[in-house]
Amino acid sequence: MKQFYLGPNGGILTSLNLFATKFDDVVNVIERRADELDYVLVDTPGQIEIFTWSAFGAIINEAFASTFPTVIAYIVDTPRSESPNTFMSNMLYACSILYKTRLPMVVVFNKTDVIQHKFALEWMEDFEVFHAALESDNSYPSTLTQSLSLALEEFYKDLRDVGVSAVSGSRMDGCFL
């Protein structure tokens, strides 16, 4: 980073772009081992914007989708999503990624050992239940969130979801169905 006068974000983008130039090697390794593998799980950088909106992210998505059956797993921190506004923020990200990648998606609600994701499923299935959760909050974000819930109703219809716990291993197989 110092050699090229890059800050943290510039360093991340540059390293990912350099990695993308060799990504065909990654695909070749997976292709050679394809007979031994049921699934390949690829964890992407924690900075969702960098992966979703950069050339690097597009290269990886296209490389996988053109070579293998590919599904995007969007991970939701279930305990943090108990807030309707945070939940909506997550769903907007998921919707954005779905339309950007144009690949099948499963929304994975993690940490279900801490809290079950039943509330999220209810919010996705019935916008009136979601609106009731926002009832006591008359702030601008909550009003906006209520409006957005109506717009996302169609998005939820064909969306696959699963609740998992990495701690207990519960329902991890649901990610691969």
- pLDDT digit string (tens) for 32-53? 999 998 888 888 766 787 778 8
Q: Are 89 and 148 in contact (CB under 8 A)?
A: no
Tokens for 49, please give them: 């914007």
Segment 153-171 shows an average pLDDT of 91
Residue 93: band (very low, low, confident or very high) from pLDDT cuts 50, 70, 90: very high
**Residue percentage of the chain with pLDDT more than 70:** 98
Length of the chain in residues, anyone?
177
What does the alpha-carbon distance between residue 70 and residue 98 come to, in Å, rounded to a whole number? Answer: 12
Tens of pLDDT, residues 58-82 = 888 899 999 999 999 999 999 999 9
Mean pLDDT of the chain: 89
**Coil, helix or strand at residue 111:** coil
Distance CA 90, CA 147 (A): 15
pTM, two decimals, is 0.87
